[in-house]
Structure 1
Amino acid sequence: MLALEATCATLTDSNAKLLAKVTDLESRSRRNNIRIVGLPESIEGPHPSTFFPKLLMEVLGEGVLDSPPECDRAHRSLTDKPKPGQRPRPVIIRVHRYQQKEKIIREARARRGKLQYQGTPIAIYEDYAPEVMEQRYKYREVMAELYNLGLKPALLFPARLSIVSKEGGKKRFSSVAEAKGYIASILLGEHNGFRPPSLDSPYD
């Protein structure tokens, strides 16, 4: 019985390591990808790799990109085409040059909630592997609370939370539980009339 339990534990550990390697490989294969959300279905026509570089130039402006980015491929996410009235599928674009892809992502972050194409609100994100997306999604509630507290949260790859205070101090968390604990300490400090610990404090 003990030998069987040891074997199961070994297999579980090996499976977790293999999954981590596969996720890492998939993430590396997506590092030049961007994901555009909100674009109506079929506006790209039969030549998406030609259409979307022009769209990016129009949406972001010539001040961000010197020329339309070269795209290796572009397509809708591989799910069933939505029915009329349903949410359109995201567009996935592989940008040939990583530097251009980074410019696009930086500008999209800076103008989050303000991007439009022909009057339709859109958003541009990194294209993460499903496992990474699942990990990052867990921080949504925590990040909303941090924004409400006047802090500047950001998610580092794959799913680590970084916070910048109003004074410029920084702190990082490797789990949602750690971040919630810090939020609780801030709220408790405000309730008791104390200032929360500095993000730069070595004792946090």
Structure 2
Amino acid sequence: MNNIITEKKNTLEGINSRITEAEERISELEDRMFEFTAIEQNKEKRMKRNEDSIRELWDNIKCTNIYIIGIPEGEEREKGPERIFEEVIVKNFPNMGKDIATQVWEVQRVPDRINPRRNTPRHTVIKLAKIKDKEQLLKSTREKQQITYKGTPIRLTADFSGEILQARREWHDIFKVMKGKNLQPRLLYSARISFRFNGEIKSFTDKQKLREFSTTKPALQ
């Protein structure tokens, strides 16, 4: 019996020893996983900070830019892009005079080269000296609703970053449905949708808030 008890005791001690070793290995693995997780989290934070910095820098670069859409190709070779912009301002916004037109820093077509497969003319990017001039011009554009160049309708809009463009595209389906329901939808800067409902203008920055509002309005469901 003593020999059996001693044997069992030695067996238990061996099992306990292996359990202890296994626990130590598990603890080491947990420590490594924690370190790896911390490294990944720090990496994600650095990437997020870098993305935010790039986005902020990009938006700062674009903050004074105006997009002109619809100017026929070749017009700038004949008159110069600054002259075209001046004609657009004077023709459509006579109260502004030439003040904004004289504050142009840079004008260019984008992309740089003509794509023969592209059926529409390239956009024209106007870089103004002051952001308040851009805001005033966009406000006047919204109030006038229709802008023309030589009798042809054109569009003036803000130069958006890639993130804002994607956010605006996400409203496309809802915008299309609202337009079909005569709700007079509009996409506002930077990525808000507004529409007229029961005589009031409603504005939303994301789809979830719009869903929450529509659940109480049978006409919108």
Question: Is the shorter-chain TM-score for this pair beyond 0.5, marking a shared fold?
Answer: yes
Given the alignment, which residue of 131, 138, 149 partners 1:105?
138
C-alpha distance in 1 between matches for 2:192 and 2:118: 36
**Equivalent-residue separation in structure 1 for 2:183 and 2:128 (angstroms):** 35
- The 5 A counterparts of 1:139-158 are 139-147=171-179, 148=181, 150=183, 153-157=186-190
Report SS of the residue matched to 1:44. Answer: helix
Aligned to 2:12: none
Instruction: Provide, for residues 2-27 of structure 1, a one-character-per-residue CA deviation record: whole Å limited to 9, x for no partner.
Output: 42233223212321232122212211
User: Alignment partner for residue 97 of structure 2, among 33, 46, 66?
Assistant: 66
Identity among equivalent positions (%) equals 17
Q: Which residue of 2 aligns with 1:202?
A: none
**Inter-partner Cα distance in structure 2 for 1:55 and 1:78:** 21
Distance 1:43 1:169, change over 3 A: closer
RMSD: 2.9
Which one of 88, 92, 95 corresponds to residue 121 of structure 2? 88
Structure with higher Rg: it is 2
1:19 to 45, 51, 58: 51
Residue pair 2:58, 2:161 contacting (<8 A) in 1 also: yes
Query: Does structure 2 conserve the Cα–Cα contact (< 8 Å) formed by 1:32 and 1:98?
Result: yes
Partner of 1:76 in structure 2?
Answer: 109
Aligned to 1:178: 209
Against the structure 1 CA distance between its residues 119 and 139, is the aligned structure 2 distance closer, same or farther, given a 3 Å change threshold? Answer: same
Q: 1:181 to 1:104 in 2, by over 3 A?
A: same
- What TM-score comes out, normalization by structure 2 length? 0.69
Q: 1 or 2, which has the higher helix percentage?
A: 2
Q: Which residue of 2 aligns with 1:6?
A: 38
TM-score (norm 1): 0.74
Q: How many residues align?
A: 185
User: Which residue of 1 is the match for residue 23 of structure 2?
Assistant: none
Distance 2:112 2:77 in 1: 18
Q: What is the aligned partner in structure 1 of residue 68 from structure 2?
A: 36
Using the alignment, how far apart are the partners of 1:169 and 1:48 within structure 2? 37
Letter in 1 for 2:42: T
Q: Is the CA contact 2:110–2:122 (under 8 Å) kept in the aligned structure 1?
A: yes
User: Mapping of 1:45-56 within 5 angstroms?
Assistant: 45=77, 47-56=80-89
Q: Which of 134, 155, 158 is 1:126 aligned to?
A: 158
Structure 2 CA distance for aligned equivalents of residues 50 and 190 of structure 1: 49
Q: Which consecutive residues of structure 2, in runs of 5 or more, have no partner in the other structure? A: 1-32
Tell me the alpha carbon deviations over residues 42-84 of structure 1, each in whole angstroms, 9 at most, x when there is no partner.
Answer: 21126322332223222x1313x12252211111113431327
> Against the structure 1 CA distance between its residues 100 and 27, is the aligned structure 2 distance closer, same or farther, given a 3 Å change threshold?
same
Contact 2:184 2:195 in 1 (8 A): yes
Displacement after TM superposition at 1:118 (Å): 1.8
* Ranges in structure 1 where 5+ consecutive residues have no aligned partner: 197-204
**Structure 1 residue 125: Cα displacement:** 0.3
